[in-house]
Amino acid sequence: QMKNQCDQKLLIRMKTQCVPCSLNLETQCPAGYTKVTNGTGTPDCRYYLEVKTHTLSFPGCRHHCVRELEQPECCRGYWGPDCVGE
pLDDT digits (tens, 9 = 90+) for 13-31: 999 999 999 999 999 999 9
* Distance from C-alpha of 23 to C-alpha of 40, rounded to nearest angstrom: 8
Q: 1 pLDDT band (50/70/90 cuts)?
A: low
- Per the CB < 8 A criterion, the answer to whether 30 and 17 are in contact is no
Residue of higher predicted confidence among 81 and 20: 20
Is residue 64 exposed (0-12), middle (13-18) or buried (19+ Cβ within 10 Å)? middle
